[in-house]
Amino acid sequence: MQETTQTQEMTVLLKENERVDDLQRNGYRIIQNTEKFCFGMDAVLLTGFAEAKEQDRLLDLGTGTGIIPILMEAKYHCAQLTGLEIQEESADMARRSVALNGLSDRIDIVTGDIREADKYFASASFDCITCNPPYMIAQHGLANPADAKAIARHELLCNFADVARVAARLLKPGGQLFLVHRPFRLPEIFTTLVQYQLEPKRMRMVHPYVDKEPNMVLIGAVRGGKPRMTVEKPLILFERPGVYTAEVRENYGF
């Protein structure tokens, strides 16, 4: 069954199992499929951690349904934003979300492989790159490696070295890469970033509770930056089960 949803800017077709969610930013909304992969808190935290300017050109690698470019436009109003996504179904939802918000002149969604990103875009053409990459290595224990959720969570179609390599190629000198990942992979992440001349400059650990170990890490790196990194204070998500901390409520709208 197909439905339509409408704003002042655009009427957009909704497909089976799709819904429209309010992003609590500039009145923006996003189309998601409840049977596929919906965006999580990690994407929202990444946009809160990332930095950009109005004149910047931004690229989001593995954009999924377009959550990061839409939130980055809401926060920074970048001159041009692009999302690269290999799964056509997700890319289609992203394009319709962009249209739903009247942002088609600001945000482009490109269907393509992260590993071949330097074939789609010119070298040193972006000021800022964001990425919420797959966290898990390989496909151990996966019942269906072709499933959209599996592709989003596991390194089935690209690995972290692919992300670092194309980011280094596509960023301008001094351009910034922002990513969210899992702390257990930090040694590999730092080694790989430095290998591709992406110098880690900022890091912030994310803890579910003040007395629990971190389960996410936010990292900012600069192409050709000098060695010196700032470790920011930890971000604590919950005061108690179901209750976000004041920082999360005030800064992220949860």
Transcribe 185-230 into DSSP letters: GHHHHHHHHHHTTEEEEEEEEEESSTTS--SEEEEEEEET--S--E
Architecture category of domain 40-252 in CATH? 3-Layer(aba) Sandwich (3.40)
Strand, helix or coil at 231?
strand
32-36, 62-66, 70-74, 180-184 — which is least confidently predicted? 32-36
Mean of the per-residue pLDDT values of the chain: 88
Mean pLDDT, residues 89-113? 96
Tokens of 51: 């930095």
- Are the C-beta atoms of 181 and 133 separated by less than 8 Å? yes
Distance between CA atoms of residues 21 and 52, nearest Å: 25
What's the whole-model pTM score?
Answer: 0.88
Whole-number pLDDT of residue 135: 59
At 158, the pLDDT band (50, 70, 90 cuts) reads confident
